[in-house]
Amino acid sequence: MSILPQVIFFLIFSVAAYFLFQRVSYLKRNIMLGKKEKRNDQAEKRWKTMLLVAFGQQKMFKRWVPAFLHLLVYIGFIVINLEVAEFIIDGFTGQHRIFAPLLGGAYTVAMNAFEFLAVGVLVSCLIFLVRRNITKVPRLSMSELKGWPAMDANLILIIEITLMMAILKMNAADQILAERGVDHYLPIGNLFFSGLLQPIMRGFSTEFLIFVERAAWWFHIVGILAFAIYVTYSKHLHIFLAFPNTWYSNLKPKGEMKNMPEVTNEVNMMLGIPSEAGAEAPAEIGRFGAKDINDLSWINIMNAYSCTECGRCTAECPANITGKKLSPRKIMMDVRDRTEEVGKSLDAKGAGLVDGKSLLGDYISQEEINACTSCNACVEACPINIDPLSIILEMRRYTAMEESGSPAQWNAMFQNMETSFSPWKFAPTDRFNWADKVKDEEIK
Amino acid sequence: MSTYKVPTMAEMAAAGDSPEVLFWVGCAGSFDERYKAVTQAFVKILNKVGVSFAVLGPEEACTGDPARRAGNEFLFQMQAVANIQVMNGYNIKKVVTACPHCFNTIKNEYPALGGDYQVIHHSQFLQSLINEGKISLKGGGEFKGKKITFHDSCYLGRANDVYEAPREIIKALDVELVEMKRCKTKGLCCGAGGAQMFKEPEPGKKDINVERTEEALNTGATTIAVGCPFCLTMMTDGVKNKEKENEVNVVDLAELIAKDQGL
């Protein structure tokens, strides 16, 4: 038997692994363009959150239909990867179905389970295509998805459908060849789903069937390797990043905004309060708030790369529902797109962050961030605990403190608060007047 | 015959006394014409039950919440640090407030600036008074058998996971609690959070409070209960926008109880 297929397999696998490594390094460097932030307290709670939210898909089930279909694809993805492990071993060793003789009847059960899941993935992806392109579910056909994002989503679904069809075709041809006693092909028992395809293939010659089986095998394994690399260019990265993303979830009450210690130092100085935090004066005075991606935390950027653009955030956003420009999903997409722009520029030895552009201004407008009610609906809605709100609020901080660019009515509110300690213009001495009425009233 | 008492911390301290709980009134509670009635209703309940409380009176200042949400961290911290100095000066341990924004800020954001207190929202406080039997609701009266819907405020609900206390209060009133489709974790904002209360909304096809009011009206409720001064304003405006102000009331939880108690 020729060793050529093994050599080719080895080469393809090595090239794929090399590219994948390059892409992972690139993504990691991009994410680390964000500010350092330590968030690894409460490890036990973090593992639990990851298990429930990412592994257990808890938050997906706020919407039952897509949750069920997604669950099928997700289980299919994980379980069918076991079969891919066999593919890889076969590819390296030149064997065919190396586990079949070892597992016996259990192998038949496993193959039937894989085929069931393959069909589940196939059907789910078809329904997803219909939801995106025919019934046009509102959150999946909004303007921010025009162009590449919509194409990306459809490509992923089509690739998955094609890969699953390859598995089924391969098994069907494989078992006809086994029936015919062709060398290398082992009978592995009754396979229900691929068995349904066999009537179409029974008329084919043995040579053609071998071609079909081998072609499907190579297509599937090369397809999966190519898909793994494609994923790193795609919104589909959530299949990996959902896990670290949920591990690094914000575990504090959602209403809490991060304190700015650099401001506390100055406020204490102004008020003549001895500062306890004097020792930890910031080494480098950065910008207040966020204008560009390097002002955000690395967790914000990881959030952006983890986002799969499902739009549940935007569908729940009160500003978006009532026709304002703000879309939390677009905020995440903008952070990712700007990071990509900077990352590519850095790799090309270009200007990187100092290219004269910035996240706020060139990607995200004041109108968008001003429309946010900070209601946390987007944060609550995200199936993998992405936090668009913290990005919006950091950009408001930049606008207010670095540019004094807040809306006029907010500036008026600031002024009221400075002079009369209330957002409204009332005399502080009148603050207690409300009590006069009750103080005169008899207790009933 | 005695009248309601509203002691201030300064008076208490001068008498060498300290209350069990500080009632943080908030700016809306102090100045908003409509919302002052909520402050007064809550104070009457505290008097009636005999809770040992005091207010800061003129010594209170805005928590800084709208400044922080609008991005002005300096102004927020100026307000916060000054308030914390006052509260720590009186050695305050426990704070109750009717405003979810004040609640969130004092509870979650003051600790980083040196202000550590046990902070509860008035819905939780009232619920515990009911549970302890200190308030026994009469039921009946003008709410008997009426439909009431509760509008979750974001800073009480999603921001701090308080969903049940307000509902427990309403259920104790012998009324029919009807939920809007978007409730609890999925509750729709009234449109005022994140400092939106203090400016006009961005261009769009609808105002958020109108969207929310339509949902509340669709439940068939004749009373919309809220637990937040901003929500009270937004929902009241929404009801007016829909010209339903003669049929539908927007009231705070404290007002529901005060009314039940004939206060």
End-to-end CA, chain B:
15
**Statement: residue B228 has pLDDT above 60:** yes
Contact assignment for A376 to B159 by CB distance below 8 Å: yes
ipTM score over 0.90, yes or no: yes
How far is it, in rounded angstroms, from Cα A37 to Cα A40?
9
Distances (CA, A) of B164 to A424, B157, B161: 32, 9, 9
Contact assignment for A443 to B112 by CB distance below 8 Å: no
Q: Which residues of A touch B188 (CB under 8 A)?
A: 318, 321, 377
How far is it, in rounded angstroms, from Cα A348 to Cα A148?
23
Average pLDDT value for residue range A315-336: 98
Q: Which domains does chain B have, with CATH numbers?
A: 9-127 (3.40.50.1860), 136-260 (3.40.50)
Q: Which residues of B touch A423 (CB under 8 A)?
A: 27, 62, 66-67, 197-198
| Higher-confidence position of B109 and A280 | B109
A99-113, A404-418, B26-40, B97-111: least confidently modelled range: A99-113
**Statement: residue A1 has pLDDT above 60:** no
Q: Which residues of A touch B25 (CB under 8 A)?
A: 431, 434
If phi > 0 it is left, if psi is from -120 to 50 it is alpha, else beta; for residue A63 that is beta
pLDDT in tens, B127-137: 999 999 999 98
How far is it, in rounded angstroms, from Cα A223 to Cα A235?
18
Burial (Cβ within 10 Å: 0-12, 13-18, ≥19) of residue A372 = buried
Are A331 and A323 contacting, i.e. CB atoms less than 8 angstroms apart? no
Distances (CA, A) of A292 to A11, A35, A327, B33: 41, 11, 18, 43
Average confidence score pLDDT of chain B: 96
Contact assignment for A273 to B74 by CB distance below 8 Å: no
Select from A326, A376, A396 the Cβ nearest to the Cβ of B158: A376
Are B130 and B160 contacting, i.e. CB atoms less than 8 angstroms apart? no
Pairing, β B21-24 against β B53-54 = parallel
Q: Which residues contact A126 (CB under 8 A, 6 or more apart)?
A: A157, A161
Contact assignment for B72 to A429 by CB distance below 8 Å: no
Contact assignment for B73 to A260 by CB distance below 8 Å: yes
φ, ψ (nearest 5 deg) of residue B18: -140, 135
Give the DSSP letter of residue B208.
H
What the block records as the tokens of A77 is 């993805």
How far is it, in rounded angstroms, from Cα A417 to Cα B74?
12
Select from A62, A257, A373 the Cβ nearest to the Cβ of B109: A257
Predicted pLDDT of residue A291: 98
Pairing, β B249-252 against β B176-177 = unpaired
Are B129 and B49 contacting, i.e. CB atoms less than 8 angstroms apart? yes
Burial (Cβ within 10 Å: 0-12, 13-18, ≥19) of residue A176 = buried
Predicted pLDDT of residue A76: 93
Q: Which residues of A touch B161 (CB under 8 A)?
A: 253
How far is it, in rounded angstroms, from Cα A430 to Cα A426?
7
Are A389 and A378 contacting, i.e. CB atoms less than 8 angstroms apart? yes
Residue A325's CB: how many other CB atoms inside 10 A?
Answer: 17
Pick the residue from chain A with its C-alpha nearest to B39: A434
A188-192, A282-286, A341-345: least confidently modelled range: A282-286
Predicted pLDDT of residue B142: 77
Predicted pLDDT of residue A280: 54
Listed residue (A367, A369, A444, A27) closest to A231, CA to CA: A27
How far is it, in rounded angstroms, from Cα A353 to Cα A338?
9
Predicted pLDDT of residue A436: 95
Pick the residue from chain B with its C-alpha nearest to A368: B202
C-alpha R_g of chain A: 28
Give B156 to chain A, closest Cα distance, Å: 9
Predicted pLDDT of residue A283: 57
pLDDT in tens, A184-208: 898 998 999 999 999 999 999 999 9
Mutate to test the interface with B, among A266, A269, A376, A437 (most CBs of B within 10 A): A376
Give the DSSP letter of residue A56.
S
Give every strand in the sheet of B21-24, ordered side by side: B53-54, B21-24, B94-97, B118-121
Mutate to test the interface with B, among A374, A378, A401, A444 (most CBs of B within 10 A): A374
Select from B4, B78, B79 the Cβ nearest to the Cβ of A441: B4
Look up tokens 């040196």; give the residue: B114
Give every strand in the sheet of B249-252, ordered side by side: B176-177, B147-150, B223-226, B249-252
Contact assignment for B196 to A373 by CB distance below 8 Å: yes
Listed residue (A310, A387, A296) closest to A132, CA to CA: A310
Are B196 and A324 contacting, i.e. CB atoms less than 8 angstroms apart? no
Are A422 and A431 contacting, i.e. CB atoms less than 8 angstroms apart? yes
**Statement: residue A305 has pLDDT above 60:** yes
| DSSP track, B16-52 | T---SEEEE-HHHHHH-TTTHHHHHHHHHHHHHHT--
Are A168 and A118 contacting, i.e. CB atoms less than 8 angstroms apart? yes
What the block records as the tokens of A362 is 């060139």
Predicted pLDDT of residue A276: 62
Residue A349's CB: how many other CB atoms inside 10 A?
Answer: 7
Average pLDDT value for residue range A238-259: 97
Give B166 to chain A, closest Cα distance, Å: 18
**Statement: residue A70 has pLDDT above 90:** yes
**Statement: residue B1 has pLDDT above 80:** no
pLDDT in tens, B69-87: 999 999 999 999 999 999 9
Contact assignment for B30 to A264 by CB distance below 8 Å: no
End-to-end CA, chain A:
101
pLDDT in tens, A164-185: 999 999 999 999 999 999 988 9
Contact assignment for B3 to A442 by CB distance below 8 Å: yes
How far is it, in rounded angstroms, from Cα A307 to Cα A319?
20
Average pLDDT value for residue range A110-114: 94
Q: Give the per-residue SS3 of B128-196.
A: HHHHCCCCCCCCCHHHCCCEEEECCCCCCCCCCCCCHHHHHHHHCCCCEECCCCCCHHHCCCCCCCCCH
Q: Which residues of B touch A364 (CB under 8 A)?
A: none
Give A355 to chain B, closest Cα distance, Å: 26
Sign of CA pseudo-dihedral B71, B74, B77, B78:
negative
Contact assignment for B155 to A255 by CB distance below 8 Å: yes
Sign of CA pseudo-dihedral B173, B179, B180, B184:
positive
Q: Give the per-residue SS3 of A152-163.
A: HHHHHHHHHHHH
**Statement: residue A360 has pLDDT above 70:** yes
What the block records as the tokens of B12 is 């208490």
Contact assignment for A374 to B185 by CB distance below 8 Å: no
Select from B62, B160, B195 the Cβ nearest to the Cβ of A255: B160
Percent of chain B, pLDDT > 90?
94
Pick the residue from chain B with its C-alpha nearest to A405: B71
Q: Which residues contact A65 (CB under 8 A, 6 or more apart)?
A: none
Q: How confident is the model at residue B250 (pLDDT cuts 50, 70, 90)?
A: very high
What the block records as the tokens of A60 is 């997906």
How far is it, in rounded angstroms, from Cα A314 to Cα A320?
6
How long is chain A? 444
Listed residue (A72, A85, A164) closest to A124, CA to CA: A72
Percent of chain A, pLDDT > 70?
97
**Statement: residue A315 has pLDDT above 80:** yes
Predicted pLDDT of residue A354: 95
**Statement: residue A84 has pLDDT above 90:** no
How long is chain B? 263
Give A376 to chain B, closest Cα distance, Å: 7
Select from A367, A380, A431 the Cβ nearest to the Cβ of B60: A431
Average pLDDT value for residue range A21-26: 97
Predicted pLDDT of residue A164: 94
| Higher-confidence position of B189 and A268 | B189
Select from B40, B64, B206 the Cβ nearest to the Cβ of A323: B206
